[in-house]
Amino acid sequence: MLAGVLLETILLYAVIILIASVLQTSTGFGFSIVATPFLLVMFEPREAIQINLILSLLISVALILKIRKDIDTGILKRLITGSLVGLPIGISIFLVMHMTLLKLGVGALIILLTVLLMMKFRIRQNPKRDLVIGGVSGAFTTSIGIPGPPILLYFSGTDTSKEKLRGTTLAFYLWIYAVSLVIQIIFAGTSKEIWQTGAAALPIVIIGLLLGQLLFKWISQELFRKLTYVLLFFSGIYLFVQQL
């Protein structure tokens, strides 16, 4: 019986990581949005967040050279600058706020903003808003390990091309995941089990990288936008419902 439960858990972990890796590679934002809600169910919050950060960082490192030509360096610099304010705020929230309340609040916010985007609500991009979104994304990363929703909502509202979105977000994630992982380890600690669980997923991540690269070539801008809405709405609903 226990062996069956263990095998089921391992298979579920493998499927989650594979799907999330494919989406991260093909869209630039899918891994944490898809994987983290499930990881938070399977593991303790610290373990789930750090496993997500480790694997997301590895994917960003693997892809950065291939997509560097699509990076908007001006926006990237402002996102990084803004994140310097959000990172310490996020780890403070993680350490003091009950995780249930945090996930309920984040889930409800993502659902609300996704509905607004589906109703053709648009945000005009400017340098000040780049800074703000970078700060919010930084806070999301160190608190729950999901930097994607703020940036994804922002760029979706500005009709950014899928190439620029993937390139700029992956470059930003390379920074934000690395710094967030260091902050998490310093303030929340880590364990050998976390790193072993992350390492066990590496072969699956590699498969996901290869499949995601193939998928990206076949995704149209319109399909990309619809996929964005589905992932955001799913992430918000799952974070919200699992706490009720």
Work out the burial of residue 220: count CB atoms within 10 Å of its CB; fewer than 13 is exposed, 13-18 middle, 19 or more buried. exposed
The Cα–Cα gap between 13 and 216 comes to 24
Q: What is the pLDDT of residue 30?
A: 66
The Cα–Cα gap between 166 and 159 comes to 13
Q: Render pLDDT for 111-135 as a digit per residue (tens, 0 to 9).
A: 877 787 777 666 778 899 999 999 9
| Domain locations along the chain | 2-241
Residue 123 sits at φ, ψ, to 5 deg, of: -115, 125
CA distances from 133 to 76, 139, 154, 178 (A): 11, 10, 7, 18
The Cα–Cα gap between 61 and 81 comes to 20
Q: What is the pLDDT of residue 2?
A: 37
The Cα–Cα gap between 200 and 162 comes to 31
The Cα–Cα gap between 165 and 173 comes to 12
3-state secondary structure of 98: coil
Determine how many CB atoms are found less than 10 A away from the CB of residue 38. 20
Q: What is the pLDDT of residue 131?
A: 94
Q: What is the pLDDT of residue 157?
A: 64
Q: What is the pLDDT of residue 165?
A: 79
Q: Is the dihedral of CA 21, 27, 29, 30 positive or negative?
A: negative
Q: What is the pLDDT of residue 244?
A: 62
Type of residue numbered 201: A
Q: Render pLDDT for 204-226 as a digit per residue (tens, 0 to 9).
A: 999 988 888 887 777 776 776 67
User: What parts of the chain have a pLDDT lower than 70?
Assistant: 1-6, 27-30, 120-122, 156-159, 221, 224-225, 228, 242-244
pTM of the model: 0.79
